[in-house]
Chains A and B, each alone.
Chain A
Amino acid sequence: MTSAFRPSRRLKVFAFDPSTARSFAGGTASSVTITLPFELDPQDPEAPFIGPKGEYVEVVDADPSSGAFYAPIDLNDAAVLHNDGLSPAPHDPRFHQQMVYAVSMNTIATFEKALGRVIQWSPHERKIEHADKPTEWVYAFTKRLRIYPHALREANAYYNPDKKALLFGYFTAGSASRSAPPGTTVFTCLSHDIVVHETVHAILDGLHPSYAEDTNPDMRALHEAFADLIALFQLFSFPSVLEDQIAKTKGDLGRQSLLGELAQEFGRAVGRGCALRDFLGGPDADGEWQAKEPDPAAYRNADGPHARGAVLVAAVFRAYLTIYKTRVSDLFRIASGGSGVLRDGEIDPDLKCRLAAEAAQCARRVMRICIRAMDYTPPVNVSFGDYLRAIITADRDLFPEDAQRYRAAFIEAFCAWGILPAGMPVISEPALCWPTLVQAEDNRQAINNIDEGLDWLEKIQSNLGLMLTQPRQMLSHLSSPMRISGKERRASYRLEAERTEAEAENVGLKIRERLLRLNDKSTTMQLNADTPARALVLDVNLLEIQGSRDREIVYHASNYYQRLLWLMMNCAASERFAELMGLCMDDTPLATIRRSRTTGMPSLHVASVRIAKRPGQRGQMEREYVIEVIQTRRGYFDADEQQGEDARKPNPDLSNRQCDFLYRTGTTFLVDARSFAIRRLIRTPHRIDDDAGLALCRDHMARAEAHAANAFYSGRSPRAAAFAALHNPAQPKDGFQ
């Protein structure tokens, strides 16, 4: 980039869906301007920016149902660039493209800010069948999420994880429509709420691909509720959107829950059967909107992803309101001369603005807390209780003192709605935090009634440290199959080591590409273009290199570490390490557990090695690595069949056997980026060889199977169907389940 001029990109979007002329949409609030920092999606201001096709997303306006494409917008066109984008215009498809771009990018910016790193889309996976070898799965980096603003002709929009694409629909409003005039076209891509919601599905899928699996009653609900929460708070982070509603409260602190009405209205936009905000409130006998009192039994009784998701939304929203009310109580006292009770009539416009600004600020904070927690969840099979623990731990690790009482608000709200981690006798902030390594080890020794001291933990620490800071040396150390016996296994191990080496080369190539680009401009130093790529993978911590805004380098570096860690765990892990981590690595007789071809032992899948950076209480940068390890086991609905399969002769080839469902467990561990000490262990409640966990999963899967909306077999791939079907109406409850 030659120009020093690096302007933010400002783009206008609808805050409210234009086709829904609700009572709220009066005045200035119907559109807002989104500001995207230049660095987020750097584009040469001199060149056209068509599509938009940027670093993260590409908007492709294909409408196959009409046999048409719609001409792409050029965001660098002078009339667009200098005018904060096209003015909101439902009749112009280029405005639609601008809106989905701006809203999705703004959502991405929110996540990157909260997580302290670039976000990644889930990789494209491809199955390669070999005649002579077992089937191979190949994963490729997904550079851009594709957005199709006019892909469907129905009142639906969804994320398709196979295509790495968001598909938005449009439809003609029917006479039952409460808002849009019958016969007019409603575009789901013009609903801010829906665009954020679908983008969040894609981001969360990139963070945790296994969360799309329906393995317990909370999984689908969590995806849905999380997307809904971010969609809601993203809108609430625009103060102008809130002002009218805050004016309606007439400055009565008790009536601040009226914000829930606004939240609910957003959820109803476009009427695609969004039941997620049902528990916020509703009109009372006089037609006045009232917030709903929390129901501690709601979570236990809720059935299906929507009902359960609605409870989570209600709980987080309650926490939000508590935080907001606490933060504005001083404003009320100041404005009322200390009484806290304002005089009747219209609210003072200055106060209204201050309240709206506070509400928006709170929305951003709560949103950040909710997002950060996603690094603190178990890698698979997560429940709402786990999510609460994640929220509390994430916030506590960053802000040891709960000065603003945010965590207290969350705990109170979740308790009020009955969302509590299973098997937890005492609910308190420290108890809710995930165990530290030392706590976990103390418990392990206590259970086994042994006293081995804690010194051995330092070995883990130094191994991790060496691996992260000197990956090349670690790799050459691990390259020879030391503890592996048997010819085939050695070969398989060597293959894994070669793949790791190849990934290192990948990273090297990408770094070289970057360097060569600099090289062209440099006159003082010339990089030899023939330098082998691997020579460039210096022994430095690749997760912290300067190119960390280059998502492709980050992707390959992360893959490289995943493979290294896999080699290391397979070579160096001890039994007590496995026990501590909640992993099963000994030679269990259970044949249903997926086994490694290399070791013949239960296989470990290192799902992620990523960095998280965030400013702490004193402004210091807190850095830590998030590492996820997953194990998998074949599950059968029939208990006898399960027993039979469990009792087979263990063999890695059994992994691809037909089964009814997959049972997964795993551990996330957080590693301090300075000391390389493991900070916290986040384990699923059951280990892979624990039949109780398997039984829970089976119960749910059998119920979900029975819940399936029909008597036949769906043609969609399970992952694609997971998202497309989420927005379908719920089933009646008098069938067998």
Chain B
Amino acid sequence: MNTRRPTARVKPPSSGVKVRMYRQGHGDCFLLAFRKGRSRRAYFVLIDCGRKSGSTPTDLHADGIEFDDVIEELYKDCGGKLDLVVVTHEHQDHVSGFPKPGEDGHPFSKIEVHELWLAWTESEDDPTAQALRERYNDTLLSLALVHEKLSRLKGLEGQDTGLADEIAEFLELETGHAQGRDVLREMASAMGVAPADISAGPEQAFAAASNAPRIRGKRYKERLQGLRHMVKSEIKFLSPEDGPWPLPGLDEVRVYPFGPPRDAKLLTSLNPRKAEEFHVGPFALGSPGAGLFAAFEGEATASAAPFEPRYVIEQASVFETQITDVDQSHIYFAETYLAEGQEYRRIDGDWMGEAEGLALRLNSEVNNTSLVLCFELIDSGRTLLFTGDAQRGSWLSWADLAWDVDGRQVTARDLLGRCSLYKVGHHGSHNATLNGALDSPHPNLAWMALGPYAQDFVAMVPSNKTWAWGKKRPWRHPMKAIETALHEKTEGRILLIEPATPKKDAQAPQAEWDAFLDRTQIERFAVEHWVPDTPVGGNTT
């Protein structure tokens, strides 16, 4: 298949880089266009392509625009060819725009992808990455079964269904499926579980999957598989101890990988797994999740009970208590636990409440495996920071990062100080942008854009704020405190997906604001900002 590719609509900048934040909805999709020598065609880098379903900005939604249409625009913008695709991490709002294997009709499938950069945590050969994946899979299996079990309780009157809905949201972020049983089916199948076990039911699928032999490098996720198949040249796994890397054919750019951290403590915010610890499945005894997993492994039957059989009454026999029953225990439970009008006091699902914390942790651990890239424009020294959804642990790890560049030491701190554009982490939410002062030991917003770099520092927040805050179960994306801090730091130079028009800070000098607007284009399908490779401070007049 070799159709003629169109001419790229986005022209290379005279110097530096144009950053286009697409308005596909709530999620990340960034196109970076660099000038490639004297070529008329830009060097295109795509960082992520995904969104939460149903989060189209209202103006596009009104015209019936969907995600596919935005990808079509991306296709035209880059002329159907991406020199490099970067996937920060595998969450729905970062990868849902990539095709699954075999999805040839997908609008993204038309695009030619040359190189693919992933975080070291995606590598098949890395033992730490492998261990992480195993735990990830086991945790996800547990959460899927939690959702399935909680869903079954939904008919019960007076029982709170909030937890089930919450877990569904997390499952969808991780896998694209909101139903626990769909996740179980897909995972079990990817793990090589026999079809008979899968069709027997979610519990059986869980049991078979959690006992399945571990297959090295096997991942169930489809979107990234599809993308991997599209790569023409090479897939590179980046790690903070390597680099900086050049972009092929470009002399003016260096790329520093900041994260994910190699330090397991900072990566997972957990103590490293110790050999001497007792474990239930993937969980250390006494740690969150261990109880859930133990109960599931015992298939939530009386054999999992902490008492000897003579004290135990099977739940089923209590639930089937008849009016004629004479056993005083059965009568007692019928009159208390099963009493009519008292359903709201039942606790059938409460023991799975731990899943909330587990899901949150899984979510932030995956966020924390984000590939964090810092692009340095060599002539001017300006940098651009793309953090994916990196969390606190990743930020802390940047404090010690240093690279040797032509015999000169370059630190992450130095690069942050020269930052001209910050892609705000995790849509501006809690723990993905750290607070602090210039003299804090940990990297934070105050370390960024120092001295003259402050005057045209721009923050891009890939958030459809209207949608996120207006959800039935609202998300604080961006969080007020972070938005306020960014507003102060940038004097209003914040670009969101929706509302797309930036608001000038009253204190901001008009000349700086005008210069910012000159470099910014609010388009229908994207918000674009140009960071030229020219020295800061010289152009304020």
Contacts and interface: CB of A to CB of B under 8 A. Distances in A.
Nearest to A51: B332
B164 interface: yes
A711 B477 contact: yes
A513 interface: no
Given A152-B291, A167-B350, A60 B336 contact: yes
Contact of B305 (A63, A92, A124, A148): A63
Contacts of B155: none
B345 A734 contact: no
A57 B226 CA distance: 59
Interface in A165-223: 165, 167, 169-177, 182-183, 185, 187
A737 B436 CA distance: 11
A185 B360 CA distance: 26
B3 to A, nearest CB: 42
B351 interface: yes
Given A64-B315, A65-B291, A162 B344 contact: yes
B356 interface: yes
Contacts of A5: none
A69 interface: yes
A504 to B, nearest CB: 24
A352 interface: no
B481 A70 contact: no
Interface in B226-262: none
A53 interface: yes
B256 to A, nearest CB: 22
Contacts of B164: 715
Interface string A129-164: 000000000000000001010111111100010111
A407 interface: no
B217 interface: no
A72 interface: yes
Contacts, number: 238
A736 B354 contact: no
A53 B474 contact: no
Contacts of B345: 146, 163-165
Interface string B459-493: 00000000000010111110111100100000000
B306 interface: yes
A518 B467 CA distance: 65
A165 B314 contact: no
B167 interface: yes
Contacts of B276: 175
Nearest to B426: A711
Given A153-B294, A712-B169, A163 B344 contact: yes
B286 A717 contact: no
Interface in B283-336: 284-288, 290-292, 294-295, 298-302, 304-308, 311-316, 318, 328-329, 332-333, 336
Given A712-B360, A716-B356, A734-B436, A64 B166 contact: no
Contact of B347 (A167, A172, A714, A732): A167
A69 B313 contact: yes
A393 to B, nearest CB: 37
Contacts of A712: 166, 169-170, 360, 363, 473, 475
A91 B307 contact: yes
A171 B167 contact: no
A152 B350 contact: yes
A295 interface: no
A152 B431 contact: no
A164 B352 CA distance: 19
Interface stretch (A434-442, A519-527, A606-614, A700-708): A700-708
A735 interface: yes
Interface in A673-718: 702, 705-706, 708-717
Contacts of B333: 60, 62, 69, 72
A734 B332 contact: no
A5 B166 CA distance: 55
A65 B312 contact: no
A187 B354 CA distance: 17
Interface in B369-395: 392
A198 to B, nearest CB: 14
B285 A173 contact: yes
Nearest to B431: A735
A201 to B, nearest CB: 16
Nearest to B482: A736
Contact of A174 (B160, B284, B364): B284
Given A60-B337, A66-B302, A67-B300, A734 B392 contact: yes
B313 A71 contact: yes
Nearest to A155: B286
B89 interface: no
A481 interface: no
A160 B163 CA distance: 14
A2 B271 CA distance: 63
A175 B285 contact: yes
A713 B332 contact: no
Nearest to A732: B392
> What's the interface size class on A, roughly?
35 or more
A736 B328 contact: no
Contacts of A590: none
Contacts of B348: 64
Given A60-B337, A64-B300, A711-B432, A175 B294 contact: no
Given A60-B337, A151-B351, A165-B345, A69 B329 contact: yes
Given A710-B430, A734-B442, A67 B291 contact: no
Nearest to A183: B278
Contact of B435 (A173, A716, A737): A737
A711 B431 contact: yes
Contacts of A170: 306
B388 to A, nearest CB: 14
Contacts of B278: 172, 174-175, 182-183
A453 B178 CA distance: 70
B353 interface: yes
B479 A711 contact: yes
Contacts of B63: none
B277 A174 contact: yes
B533 to A, nearest CB: 32
A333 to B, nearest CB: 50
Contacts of B337: 60, 62, 69
A60 B485 CA distance: 51
A68 B315 contact: yes
A113 to B, nearest CB: 28
Contacts of B301: 66-68
B175 interface: no
Contacts of A91: 307-308
Contacts of A72: 328-329, 332-333
A720 interface: yes
Nearest to B432: A711
Nearest to B302: A68
A493 B40 CA distance: 80
A58 interface: yes
A735 B430 contact: yes
The 4 closest A-B pairs by CB, nearest first: A174-B286, A153-B291, A715-B166, A715-B162
Interface of A: 48, 50-51, 53, 58, 60, 62-72, 74, 91-94, 124, 146, 148, 150-156, 160, 162-165, 167, 169-177, 182-183, 185, 187, 637, 702, 705-706, 708-717, 720, 724, 728, 732, 734-737
22 contacts: A48-B328, A50-B328, A53-B336, A62-B337, A65-B295, A67-B304, A68-B301, A69-B333, A71-B311, A74-B328, A91-B307, A162-B160, A174-B290, A175-B285, A705-B480, A706-B481, A712-B169, A712-B473, A715-B165, A715-B166, A734-B434, A736-B435
Interface of B: 160, 162-167, 169-170, 274, 276-278, 280, 284-288, 290-292, 294-295, 298-302, 304-308, 311-316, 318, 328-329, 332-333, 336-337, 344-354, 356-357, 360, 363-364, 392, 426-427, 429-436, 440, 442, 444, 471, 473-477, 479-482, 485
Given A64-B351, A734-B440, 4 more contacts: A165-B345, A175-B285, A714-B356, A734-B436
